[in-house]
């Protein structure tokens, strides 16, 4: 069983990390179920394990937290759905690349329910949307905006951290960092793309597409011996 948890209001980042670590340990011990945690944070920046200090353009703008998840600098804030994914890869296959691809496909399937074509790009983590209405890049390639970020951490093959999808955040807040270390492309949101989507609309779509993207193993998820 996967428990779905939705937190109202804005959850402080340190509290979220502490709860994820606690839950991941309990999942590994077999005392609690896997979980998907849906929440929002107050405005903040997080630095992943690959973050470069020069990509933090405005270090005084919002609180900055070191995060041991993969990736570089990411913004979190109101209007962005953060999806913390606490799943047991001991039961789901110990394949990190396949797991990240499954998360990407989950986001893409969710966006498809709103008729948005999300895509992945080699060398660029996350999910992207082509913006043909914007001026192309200097090399003539089409401009693309990031709509979702992905960064996970594993402890004893239980995942935590996860996904963030932009519903209606203040996109100017991303200006304080180089998002995920990528220049030349921008950031977008569901509302920025002209869709009057609410947070609840997105949550419903995430639940509807989850089982196909991340199905429970046929054996029912019996853990391997540790």
DSSP for 31-91 reads SS-EEEEEEE--SEEEE-TT--GGGBS-TTTS-EEE--SSSSEEEE-TTEEEEEEE-BHHH
Residue 148 contacts residue 166 (beta carbons within 8 Å): yes
How far is the CA of 173 from the CAs of 78, 136, 155, 179, 221, in angstroms?
Answer: 10, 23, 31, 10, 41
Assess whether 180 carries a catalytic annotation: yes
Q: Where are the domains positioned within the chain?
A: 3-213
Q: Which uninterrupted H or E stretch holds 138?
A: none
C-alpha 141/C-alpha 154 separation (Å) is 36
What was the pLDDT predicted at 182?
A: 63
Whether the pLDDT of residue 18 is over 50: the answer is: yes
Q: Name the least confident of 32-46, 55-69, 181-195.
A: 181-195
Binding site residue list for substrate: 69-76, 149-151, 162-164
Q: What is the mean pLDDT of residues 191-217?
A: 95
- Rounded to the nearest angstrom, the gap between the alpha carbon of residue 96 and the centroid of all alpha carbons in its chain is 15
pLDDT digit string, tens, across residues 60-77: 999 999 988 877 889 999
Whole-prediction pTM? 0.91
User: Bridge partners of 38?
Assistant: 6, 83
Residue 192 contacts residue 171 (beta carbons within 8 Å): yes
* Architecture per CATH, 3-213: 2-Layer Sandwich (3.30)
Relative to beta strand 119-121, strand 73-76 is unpaired
Burial class (CB in 10 A: 0-12, 13-18, 19+), 160: buried
User: Per the residue annotation, which of 180, 182, 199, 206 is the catalytic one?
Assistant: 180
């Amino acid at each position: 069983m996967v428990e779905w948890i939705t937190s109202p209001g804005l959850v402080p980042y340190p509290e979220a990390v502490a709860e994820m670590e606690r839950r991941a340990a309990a999942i590994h011990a077999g005392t609690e179920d896997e979980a998907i945690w849906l929440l929002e944070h107050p405005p903040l920046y997080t630095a992943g394990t690959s973050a470069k200090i020069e990509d933090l353009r405005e270090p005084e703008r919002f609180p900055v937290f070191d995060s041991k998840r993969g990736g570089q600098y990411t913004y979190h804030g109101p209007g962005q759905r953060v999806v913390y994914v606490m799943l047991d890869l001991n039961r789901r296959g110990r394949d990190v690349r396949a797991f990240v691809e499954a998360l990407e496909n989950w986001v893409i399937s969710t966006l498809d329910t709103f008729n948005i074509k999300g895509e992945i790009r080699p060398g660029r983590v996350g999910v992207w949307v082509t913006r043909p209405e914007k001026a192309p890049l200097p090399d003539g390639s089409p401009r693309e905006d990031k709509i979702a970020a992905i960064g996970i951490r594993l402890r004893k093959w239980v995942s935590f951290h996860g996904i963030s999808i932009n519903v209606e955040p203040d996109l100017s807040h991303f200006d304080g960092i180089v998002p995920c270390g990528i220049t030349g492309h921008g950031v977008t949101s569901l509302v920025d793309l002209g869709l009057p989507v609410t947070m609840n609309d997105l949550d419903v779509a995430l639940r509807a597409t989850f089982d196909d993207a991340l199905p429970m193993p046929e054996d029912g998820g019996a853990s391997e011996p540790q």
